[in-house]
Each structure stands twice: as structure tokens, then as C-alpha cells.
Structure 1
Amino acid sequence: MLKPTALHTLRERRRKADRRYGARLLAAAALAAVAAVAFGLLLTLVEGQWRPLRHLDTSAARDLHAYALRHPGWTDVLHLLSDRIWDPVTLRAAVAVLTGWLLYRRAWRLAAWAAVTAVAGGLVGLLVKIVVERARPALQDPVAHAAGYSFPSGHAMTATTSFAVFILVLAPLVPRAWRIACWCVAVFSILGVGFTRVALGVHWFSDVLGGWLLGVAVVALTAWAFEAWRADAGRRRTPVSQGLEPELGEAEPEPGPPAR
């Protein structure tokens, strides 16, 4: 039996862990709400053709397009990044491979979270495109072409959800000293995707911003649901820097001798 002092210390640790866990859930819900509200406001401004936003969109598209026309080598780099490395098909395939690996590791719920986040992001983005029906930039001597509607940017949204999945799943497997570098690579990639789409003249800046916001909202909501499941399952509380399921980084037990 635990001594009174030890029991008090244990209860205090649990209370602190519960408070941290509650704060984490609240932060996820608040992030989703802020992103959703910001996206709704942006959509209202886009639909209402708010003059300052329209001026920002047109000036960014015009200036970046003029630079791309003058520098063909730069344009080739943008195509490589946008159409090969950061292409939605490439990123979704990478998430599918990651999901398969999670299934192999028998991390069933984490695999389901990764798949649901990727699929939900794609479906929500497509639905909004169909509802808004915004035309893409029409530039003279375009350096790139893209089919479909413009708002929100599917590239930007897919990059946001995909790199969030990579970070939140693989964080437990990355040494602590390298985690900040991984976050920096993810943020750089997400921002870089948006820049390439505007620089190639296939999206307005507000399209890219909408993709980022909608992607953040989807990830925050699915992560909040996953964390709520962990609470119901009695899993230990951990900071977000350790990923959604820190147990993934724990060594798998070696098989013991066969039972007699």
C-alpha cells in the first residue's frame, strides 16, 4: 500500500497531467475553430470581391508571372517542385505508404486517423471548389495550366494535411534534437507549395491562403478526435511534440520462448 505522501504525490501528478491534456484538447479545438472562422471570413471576402484582397491577388499574380516569363530556369524549378515533388498525387501516395506501414505495425487507430485526415481533406477541398466555382487566373502567355476551379488550392490544402500527418505520426521515431528541423522542413514545404502555385499563375494568393486554413481546420479536428479517443482509452498524456501516439517509438517486444 502506498504511503499517504506517495499517494498524494501520485494524485497531484495525475491532476497536472489531466490539466495539460485538457489544455491540449482545448488548444486543438480552438485552433480548428479559429481556422474555420478565418476560412469563412476569407470565403466571404472572395465571394464579395473585396477590393483590397482582389488587388493583392492580381498584383501578386502579375508580378510573379512577369518574373517567371523573364527567367525560364526559375520556371522549370517551380514546375519540378509543384508538379513532381509537392504534387498532391505524390503526397497522397506517401500518406498511403505511411498508412500501410502503420497497419503493418498494428497501429490500427493511428492508421485510420492518417487515412481519414487525407481523405477528408481531399473531399472537403473538392466540395468547396464545386460550391464556390472560382475561375483561375487568366494571364497572357501563361507558363502553366491547371484544370478545375481555383478556390481553395488543392496543392496547398493537400500539403498542409499531408505534412501534418507525417509530423504527428513520425515524431516519436525522430530523435528529439531533430524534431525542430523536421517541423521547419514541413512548414517550408507547405509555404513553398503555395508560392509555386501563385508563381506559376494557376492560383490566386487567396486560393492558397484558403487551402492552408482549410487544411489546418481538418487536421485540428481529426487530431482532436484522436486525442479524445486516447483519453477514453486511458492512454498516457503526452505533449504534441511527441506526436499523436508516442507508443509508436517504443521498441517492440522481442518474441519470447514458445510456451510449453
Structure 2
Amino acid sequence: MHPATVDSPPRPPSPRIGALTAAALAASSVVLLVLVAVSWRPLMSLDGDIATTTHRWAVEHRDITRVSRVLTDWVWDPQTMRVLCAAAVVRLLWRRRAPWLALWVAATCAFAALAQNALKAAVDRPRPVWPNPVDSAHYAAFPSGHAMTATVVCGLLLWLLHRYDAGRLLWRTALTVAVVSVVGVGLTRVWLGVHWPSDVLGGWLLGALLVALAVASYERWCPGVEAPLRRERRP
């Protein structure tokens, strides 16, 4: 086996697989959006059952709740995630690697913020209300901005690591951190009682959809932009 196949991240999917993935994410996102918008009773009931149970646990287990608040407010919050994305963009520009790639990443992150705010305003779903809340949040519930932002930023950062041939250890570490962050932030939002489970699912689906579209469109419209850089690194 060639060493590059062992130490490098997996190759990106073929354009057809990428298109199918984006289509599946888009269809799932639309279906969930419609079900939430029309308040489909089975989904609302499931949301309520899960939210009620997790809120009871949050009230009973205050130590876990305090940790969840720190993670959701300081580690996985949208501002922290956007700072990470901005740092990656600055690094790309500073090292003069690929200004178009830096612009693509920045534009995707900015569009995600606009899209989530637009959807919140359009759906205008109320957040859970509890007699003994353990946390608070503002604006409408669907989709979860924390879940969506974490998915977009982590997905984009993994894409950048792939394009610059991250080694096996770095790739596995980054992938693990990304999965823990995306899943973890969604769980904390439900645990703290500020989102319904379907809000988080919607954030994950929409975030993954934006990443899939960003990657597919860049690979189609800007192919080979970094080819000279890759050749310089492999004498």
C-alpha cells in the first residue's frame, strides 16, 4: 500500500456521491422543516417527551448542568466556532495559499449565520418553557444556531485539513474533536431545556447541507487551485 493512503485523510467522495449526499441532506432538511412548521403532532409529542425527561435530569443533576452550561456558552458556542473559522481564513490569507478558498470558507460561514436567522424568523417556533429553568436563550427555536454553526465550522475545518493533506494522527484527532463538538453541543442544548430535539436535528442537517454544497461547488468551479502548492510539498 502506498504510504499516502495510510497517513492521509480519506479521499473526497466522487462528484456523484457528493451530489447524492447533498440531495439527501436537502430532502431531509425540507421534510423536517415542513413537519416543524405545520406542528406535526407525532413529532411535537416526541419532542415534548424527550425535552421533559432531559429537563428533569438537568434539574436533578446540577453538576452535569453546570458543565453543560460552560461547554455550550464558552466552548461550543457560535461565537467561538466563528472565531475558529476566522482563524483558519486568516491563516490561509497570511500564508498566501488560496485566497479563493479562504473567501469560500468565510462566505459559507457568513451565509450559515444569515440562513439560520432567516429560518428562525420564518418558522418562529417557541422555545420550551419550564417552571424551573436551568438556562435561558433568546430568539426562536428552529433551527438550533449552536448545532448548525458547530456543524458548518467543524465540517469546513475538516475539509481544509483534507485539502492540505493532514497526517493520520492530526486527521483522526480533528475528526474526533469535531464529532464530539457537534454531537455534544446538540445534547447540551436539549439538556439545558432551551431547544427541542428536532431543533438540534434541524441544525445538524442544515449545517451538513451547507458544507456539502460549499465543498461540491468549490470543487466544481475552482478545481486545481491548490495543485501547485501540493506539488511543492512533494518534491
Q: CA deviation at 1:249?
A: 6.4
Query: Which position in structure 2 is the counterpart of 1:200?
Result: 192
Change (3 A) 1:63 1:112: same
Distance 1:224 1:248 in 2: 21
Distance 2:17 2:70 in 1: 36
2:92 to 93, 102, 124: 102
1:52 to 42, 48, 51: 42
* Contact 1:137/1:204 (<8 A) preserved: yes
Distance 2:43 2:65 in 1: 25
Query: Which position in structure 2 is the counterpart of 1:119?
Result: 110
Q: CA deviation at 1:43?
A: 1.2
2:179 to 167, 171, 187: 187
Distance 2:128 2:228 in 1: 47
Q: For the aligned residues, what is the CA RMSD?
A: 2.2
Query: Which position in structure 2 is the counterpart of 1:239?
Result: none
Q: Deviations over 1:208-256 (max 9, x none)?
A: 001111111111111111101233xxx29xxxxxxxx576667679xxx
Q: CA deviation at 1:170?
A: 2.2
Query: Taking structure 1 as the reference length, what is the TM-score of the superposition?
Result: 0.79
SS of residue in 1 equivalent to 2:222: helix
Is residue 129 from structure 1 mapped to residue 129 from structure 2 by the alignment? no
- Structure 1's unaligned 5+ residue stretches are 1-19, 237-244, 254-260
Distance 1:146 1:176 in 2: 39
* Contact 2:161/2:171 (<8 A) preserved: no
2:154 to 152, 156, 163: 163
Change (3 A) 1:195 1:246: farther
- Look up the equivalent residue of 1:166 and give its one-letter code: L
Query: Which position in structure 2 is the counterpart of 1:25?
Result: 15
Distance 2:228 2:91 in 1: 15
- Counting aligned pairs with the same residue, the percent is 41
- Look up the equivalent residue of 1:91 and give its one-letter code: M
Q: CA deviation at 1:48?
A: 2.2
- Look up the equivalent residue of 1:143 and give its one-letter code: V
Distance 2:195 2:232 in 1: 45
Query: Which position in structure 1 is the counterpart of 2:76?
Result: 86
SS of residue in 2 equivalent to 1:144: coil
- Look up the equivalent residue of 1:59 and give its one-letter code: D
Distance 1:246 1:77 in 2: 44
Is residue 38 from structure 1 mapped to residue 23 from structure 2 by the alignment? no
Change (3 A) 1:194 1:248: farther
* Contact 1:102/1:108 (<8 A) preserved: yes
Change (3 A) 1:250 1:159: farther
2:222 to 208, 230, 241: 230
Q: Deviations over 1:32-59 (max 9, x none)?
A: 2211111110111112222221122111
Q: Which has the larger radius of gyration?
A: 1
For these two proteins, the number of residue pairs brought into alignment is 222
- Structure 2's unaligned 5+ residue stretches are 1-10
